[in-house]
């Protein structure tokens, strides 16, 4: 918010939507799990460039950061002063 104020904006409203971000991360984790299952069942083959373990680690870290309120999502309404 500091950057917005320093840019001459006046904050009118802040709507936090961390739960939406957390839901998005959970959805990604579910898709990664499904992808991993399909690979194990030999239903799909992934290119070598795709690192499922790294993606799962990143999603887990994102979920933890959201829960710890280190990472969030918000809608900010501001006006120029």
pLDDT one-digit tens code per residue, 8-17: 999 999 999 9
Three-state SS sequence of 59-78: HHHHHHHHHCCCCCCEEEEE
| Distance, C-alpha 39 to centroid of its chain | 24
Contact 63, 29 (CB under 8 A): yes
pLDDT at 24: 97
For 18-61, the pLDDT digits (tens) are 999 999 999 999 999 999 999 999 999 999 999 999 999 999 99
Q: Which pTM value belongs to this model?
A: 0.79
Work out the end-to-end distance of the chain between its first and last CA atoms, rounded to an integer number of angstroms. Answer: 15
CA angle 75, 29, 19 (to 5 degrees): 25
Which tokens go with 20? 């939406």
pLDDT at 81: 72
């Amino acid at each position: 918010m500091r950057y917005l104020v320093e840019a001459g904006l006046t904050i009118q409203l802040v709507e936090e939507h961390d739960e939406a971000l957390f839901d998005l991360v959970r959805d990604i984790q579910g898709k990664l799990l499904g992808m991993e299952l399909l690979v194990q069942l030999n239903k799909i083959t992934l290119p070598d460039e795709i690192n499922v373990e790294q993606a799962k680690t990143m999603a887990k870290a994102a979920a933890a950061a959201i829960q710890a309120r280190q990472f969030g999502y918000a809608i900010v309404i501001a006006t120029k002063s």
